[in-house]
Amino acid sequence: MNWTALIVFILFFVLVTVLGFYAANWRRGDLRQLDEWGLGGRRFGTLITWFLLGGDLYTAYTFIAVPALMYGKGAIGFYAVPYTIIIYPFIFVVMPRLWSVAKKYGYITASDFVKDRFGSRTLALLVAFSGILATMPYIALQLVGMQTVLASMGLTGTGIIGDLPLIIAFAILAVYTYTSGLRAPAVIAVVKDLMIYITVIVAIVYIPIKLGGFGHIFSAAAAELPKHKPPGALVIGPSGFWAYSTLAFGSAMALFLYPHSLTGVLSSSSRNVIKRNSALLPAYSLALGIISLLGYMAIAAGVHPKTPNDAVPGLFLKMFPDWFTGFAFAAIAIGALVPAAIMSIAASNLFTRNVYKEYINPNCTAHQESSVAKLVSLLVKVGALFFIIFLPKEYAINLQLLGGIWILQTLPAVFIGLYTNWLHRHALIVGWLVGMITGTYMAVSQNFNSIYPLHLGGSVIPAYAAIYAVIINLALAVVLTPVFRAIGVKHGSDATAPHDYHFSSETIQG
């Protein structure tokens, strides 16, 4: 047991717990209203939105999963850097449209929008199902990140004893999420991001000095990666081009389809807040590029973890004094808690609005809506345990990539729907169904590795299964739309108007 690291870790964890409960009184609103509990009253300005989206998007995925892939397989892990660069110009253009129409009609989820845009409750339900399903493995990834740092400090054991620290941490998370809603992760994200930036700055300066510089780090990685099973590489060869590029592009297109990303966007106070954050958030991409190199540093430091997911904790334990290791582990753990809270809130918003209110209790009051959402936010965290128990966890990043396969199948209805409702609702449903089945089959056939080797003629093209699936999805939607129109299948009515996508209410300062 590393007592010094553990004590520092606990002190910072207590700090964020206090902040989580305090958040219920920050910018006080009626938390019995779903709009207040699940979107913070849509009052977050540029600074809070920056921290919230940063805490939302840069998670245990960043500190555990990406460096683990770099440690085990090499340069393929760098796909995470260009994908976060690709997405922000796209968000600058697309997300203000969604914010405007959501603000005009009080939409809380993407499914709310899809229902009105295409006049289809069924399509909206499928979008909600995709969002909830895709969120589960992403929350599971946060659980893996928490487990990794707790075990690295010596909190290990068998059965319930070994899992008790993680259970306690997520029980605390569940309680302050229940009481404070989106305000809790918004407040905690400020502390989390400051801790992560301190950790990154120290790591990128201190560790290379101790290891003899970046030249030695890259030389050690180049020598060691080919010895791994399967072999890794410091530089991607031609056979990896398709995998790398489709992982980057597919992940970029999926990122802001996730319910937690959309929740962060819809909680903003204006269209301009979203645009400003699209320009500011690439600062996190710079940090991600640096964090990725921790995988190579672990190789150069001679770290030999049980699994690649333990590479960064092992590196910190070896290179840092115990007190700073505790601080860095707290940054990683809090970096897992913040997105897990937002993800559970976003998934509960989907269930409450698009399942409970739509199919179970259409006449529910606003207070009933909020109560159900709070309860579901607890259940979603439990559901994520399924993915921890039954899926391979050697590379935690595969949990996020699996979610990406599922959520990307909502792209035709959500992103394309922001510009046109030409696609027929039934064609979109068929495309979604085939895309979900195809993408899931591809992942399962590769033991939940998201790279699928497509045999085309005499060639093999290994690429991200999400891209293959969404191409099939979109092709079916385009081809079947004129077919459904020709046979007289009724098209749903559009409840929105063109000017709704440029709607801008008075900005509430945040």
The answer to whether 152 touches 310, Cβ cutoff 8 Å, is yes
- The pLDDT score that the predictor gives to residue 165 is 67
At residue 313, the 3 state secondary structure works out as: helix
Q: Which residue has the higher pLDDT, 111 or 194?
A: 111
What mean pLDDT is predicted for residues 28-36? 72
Q: Which residue has the higher pLDDT, 382 or 130?
A: 130
The residues, ordered by sequence, that sit 6+ positions from 158 with a Cβ below 8 Å of its Cβ are none
pLDDT band at 339 (very low <50, low <70, confident <90, very high): confident
At residue 346, the 3 state secondary structure works out as: helix
Kindly tell me if the per-residue pLDDT of 323 is higher than 60: yes
Euclidean distance between the first and the last CA atom of the chain, given in angstroms as a whole number = 43
Backbone angles phi, psi at 187, to 5 degrees: -70, -45
For residues 392 and 399, give the distance between their C-alpha atoms in angstroms, rounded to a whole number: 9
pLDDT band at 466 (very low <50, low <70, confident <90, very high): very high
- The pLDDT score that the predictor gives to residue 407 is 96
The answer to whether 263 touches 256, Cβ cutoff 8 Å, is no
**For residue 148, how far is the Cα from the chain centroid?**
18
Kindly tell me if the per-residue pLDDT of 472 is higher than 50: yes
pLDDT band at 509 (very low <50, low <70, confident <90, very high): very low
pLDDT band at 26 (very low <50, low <70, confident <90, very high): low
- The pLDDT score that the predictor gives to residue 154 is 82
The answer to whether 235 touches 75, Cβ cutoff 8 Å, is yes
- The pLDDT score that the predictor gives to residue 54 is 78
For domain 3-396, give its CATH number from 1.10.3720.10, 3.30.365.10, 1.20.1730.10, 1.10.1040.10.
1.20.1730.10
- The pLDDT score that the predictor gives to residue 510 is 41
Least confident of 244-248, 345-349, 420-424, 476-480: 345-349
Backbone angles phi, psi at 363, to 5 degrees: -100, 20
> What residue type is 14 in one-letter code?
V
C-alpha separations of 44 from 184, 342, 406, 430 in Å: 13, 14, 29, 38
| Maximum average pLDDT range among 152-161, 354-363, 435-444 | 435-444
Least confident of 30-44, 82-96, 316-330: 30-44
